[in-house]
Amino acid sequence: MANKQEKSSKSIGIVKKITGSKGFSSLAAALMAILLGLIFGFLVMLIARPGSAVPGIRYVTLGGLGRIGDVFYFATPILMTGLAVGFAFKMGLFNIGASGQYTMGMFFALYAVFMLDLPDGLSWVVAILAGFVGGMVWGAIPGIFKALMNVNEVITSIMFNYIGMYLVDMLVLKNAAMYNPAMTRTRYIPSGAQIPALGIHGSNVNFGIVFAIIIAVVLYIVLEKTTFGYELKATGFNKHASEYAGMKGKRNIILTMSIAGGLAGVGGAFAILAPSAIVGSSMTYEPINIIATAGFNGIAVALLGNAHPIGIIFSATFISHIQRGGTLASLVGYKPEIIDVVVAVIIYFSAFAMIMNTGLGKFVKKRIEKDKKDLEIKEGSE
């Protein structure tokens, strides 16, 4: 009997340790949001086409497993936009402009490929750097507006999503070297200027994902081990206190937004420089006045990953995974948009998941304490 009690109190201790930790609570919150998102998606499928809802949701949740290469291929851009949103979020800035920065970065990368006559191998490296610059410019503007003129970065970023989209569409349409009127899309990038594939069978997954993961790790180090990272997080926790402690808030806002924009821009470069399914072809851009969805998916990725660079690697992979599943769900009559629905619901719930989670944590704690009490009462009665 004594043995049993010891065992149970020990297990209670472990459970408490895990549930009490910060990492667990954000993971639990993310899992909760994902679960609710998938349930809602299932309900929508059930309403839209009741007969095939079960195979549909099976495709969504498990379909990506058979195409791991593609999952990572499509995870690359949203991993970058996720970092762009998450990095700014650490400072308390909501970078909703990742779409515009992504589009800008993509355009700069295209420009570097088509307009600068660079040798193979060097071309894509320069293009990625160009993408960083393009995104950086588009991220710096909201930063400057925020720091110097006190304009809310949310409104500025949204406006610059539109301005960037119209600007890029116009510049692409005017550029004969870049635009193929017959296909109403940009031309294929010469294979020497594409990011080399990793050579996984049946997929074009390329070095982009490797670079993206390296960038995420570097960001983690910057945030955790440098003065800049510390100042950034301090400003995010309490703007006034950090200002009082002598941190240069305005400079940091502009710097953070520039880096965030650059990250999204690199995402755009990774996306457009990637080889695509047809041999020798690449991804293309269609200038039809629509804002890139990669930026908004980046918000979901960043929130699910709790704005933590390493967490974002996993959340980007997950979102990409269900997106692949969503494409497969069209086999049973659904449209890929079902995933956008799921992602939106996930964001909705992750916005208040922390509160839900503290509620859940309290509930678990209460249960544990009650068990303990029951045990004690039992012991006492014996």
Residues 234-263 that bind another protein (CB under 8 A): none
We find the least distance from the C-beta atom of residue 131 to another protein, in angstroms, to be 22
Asked if residue 217 lies in contact with residue 309, where contact means CB atoms within 8 angstroms, the answer is yes
Residue of 25, 81, 252, 350 interacting with another protein (CB under 8 A): 350
| 348 lines the binding site for another protein (CB under 8 A) | yes
- Residue closer to another protein by CB (options 54, 214) is 54
Establish if 145 lies at the interface with another protein (CB under 8 A). Answer: yes
- Report, in Å, the least distance between residue 273 CB and another protein: 25
Which among 8-16, 65-73, 156-164, 316-324 is the span making contact with another protein, rule CB under 8 A? 156-164
Q: Which is nearer to another protein, 200 or 354 (CB)?
A: 354
Exactly one of 2, 50, 279, 289 binds another protein (CB under 8 A); that residue is 289
Residue from the set 12, 15, 46, 163 that interacts with another protein by CB under 8 A: 163
32 binds another protein (CB under 8 A): no
| Strand 185-186 versus strand 179-180 pairing type | antiparallel
Could you say which of 151, 197, 200, 375 contacts another protein (CB under 8 A)? 151
Binds another protein (CB under 8 A): choice among 39, 333, 363, 371: 333
Q: Does 296 bind another protein (CB under 8 A)?
A: yes
Q: Which residue among 94, 207, 230, 314 contacts another protein (CB under 8 A)?
A: 94
Using CB under 8 A as the binding rule, whether residue 48 contacts another protein is answered as yes
Nearer to another protein, 151 or 222 (CB): 151
Task: Give burial (CB, 10 Å; 0-12/13-18/19+) of 20.
Answer: exposed
Minimum gap (Å) between residue 254 Cβ and another protein:
15
Answer yes or no whether residue 167 interacts with another protein by CB under 8 A: yes
230 binds another protein (CB under 8 A): no
* 215, 216, 220, 226: CA torsion to nearest 10: 20
Cα separation, 346 vs 296, in Å, equals 12
Chain residues in the site for another protein (CB under 8 A): 44, 48-49, 94, 96, 145, 149-152, 154-156, 158-160, 162-163, 166-167, 169-170, 174, 289-290, 296, 299, 303, 333-335, 337-338, 340-341, 343-348, 350-352, 355-356
